[in-house]
């Protein structure tokens, strides 16, 4: 019995090693595919009214793929588990409006900043005066954020214990349903999803003075080779006007 059990353990370890090493960090792009982890986040990665997968990050990744001669494969992930998804080789990159933080730099290799962002407060229209400053966010009965996001860090930095959701867009549903709730989300999303002409025309956002943030693309900690290649590709796309075209398309 012990011999059978020992053989099973050895087999399991061999299987884990095979799966875990299906891609070598030194040649991530060798098989011609870069697997990108994302969450639904308008205007970065989302489905439009025709059902097409679009967005600033979506198109930028595809343009980088063309330059590097690799196929971009998109995989939806749980944002709170993004580091685990990288380290387990489920994905090769986190590319979804990811705010660069010291904590993430310890866990990943991250590209240079390619876009600026900051956190804002989303509330019901007519309630803006209640949330003019960061301290006044505490006037809300509950604060809703995406788990593992910059919004969650912002709330916690103010001593607020927020309600966490699996995606930023879900926080808006909470605010829409209850006037005593507010959300802290990226201004890039707020500009796209909140206000006149959107599905959340009864909501608005307040810029309460959170510090500017920078978006970066994350790779496994020791996969600096792929990170450097993507960095260089984005520089080329900036120089040839592609990045500016995408900025105008998705941010006006």
Q: Between vectors from CA 243 to CA 239 and to CA 245, what angle results, nearest 5°? A: 110
Say yes or no to pLDDT of 7 above 80: no
User: What is the C-alpha separation between 105 and 108, in angstroms, rounded?
Assistant: 5
**Interval 30-39: pLDDT, tens:** 999 999 999 9
Cβ(144)–Cβ(165) under 8 Å?
yes
Which residue in 151, 124, 156 sits closest to 140, CA to CA? 124
Give the Cα separation of 179 and 177 in Å (integer): 7
Beta strands in 42-150 (DSSP E): 46-47, 53-54, 71-76, 93-99, 108-110, 115-117, 119-124, 142-146
Q: How confident is the model at residue 23 (pLDDT cuts 50, 70, 90)?
A: low
Q: Identify the CA nearest to 139 among candidates 165, 160, 109.
A: 160
Alpha helices (H) along 117-219: 150-157, 168-177, 187-193
User: Looking at residue 27, what is its pLDDT?
Assistant: 76
Residue 187: pLDDT above 50? yes
Residue 96 has pLDDT above 70, yes or no: yes
Half-sphere exposure at residue 170, Cβ-oriented, CA atoms within 13 angstroms: 12
Segment among 25-29, 114-118, 178-182 with least mean pLDDT? 25-29
What structural domains and CATH numbers belong to the chain?
29-116+213-251 (3.40.190.10), 119-206 (3.40.190.10)
Confidence (pLDDT) at 1: 47
Residue 225 makes CB contacts below 8 A (sequence gap 6+) with: 25, 26, 28
pLDDT at residue 20, as a whole number: 44
């Amino acid at each position: 019995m012990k011999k059978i059990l020992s053989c099973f353990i050895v087999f399991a370890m061999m299987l884990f090693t095979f799966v875990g090493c299906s891609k070598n960090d030194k040649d991530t792009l060798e098989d011609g595919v870069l697997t990108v982890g994302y969450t639904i986040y308008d205007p970065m990665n989302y489905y439009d009214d025709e059902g097409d997968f679009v967005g600033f990050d979506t198109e930028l990744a595809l343009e980088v793929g063309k330059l590097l001669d690799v196929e971009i494969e998109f995989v939806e992930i749980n944002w709170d588990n993004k580091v685990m998804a990288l380290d387990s080789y489920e994905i090769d990159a986190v590319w979804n409006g990811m705010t660069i933080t010291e904590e993430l730099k310890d866990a990943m290799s991250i590209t240079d900043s390619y876009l600026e962002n900051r956190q804002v407060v989303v509330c019901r229209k007519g309630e803006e005066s209640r949330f003019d400053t960061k301290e006044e966010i505490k006037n809300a009965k509950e604060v809703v954020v995406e788990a593992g996001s910059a919004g969650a860090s912002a709330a916690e930095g103010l001593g607020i214990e927020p309600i966490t959701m699996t995606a930023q867009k879900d926080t808006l549903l909470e605010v829409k349903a209850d006037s005593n709730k507010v959300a802290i989300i990226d201004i890039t999303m707020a500009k796209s999803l909140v206000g006149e002409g959107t599905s959340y025309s009864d909501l608005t956002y307040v810029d309460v003075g959170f510090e500017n943030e920078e978006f970066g693309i994350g790779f496994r900690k020791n996969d600096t080779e792929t990170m450097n290649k993507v960095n260089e590709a984005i520089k080329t796309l900036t120089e040839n006007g592609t990045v500016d075209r995408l900025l105008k398309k998705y941010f006006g």
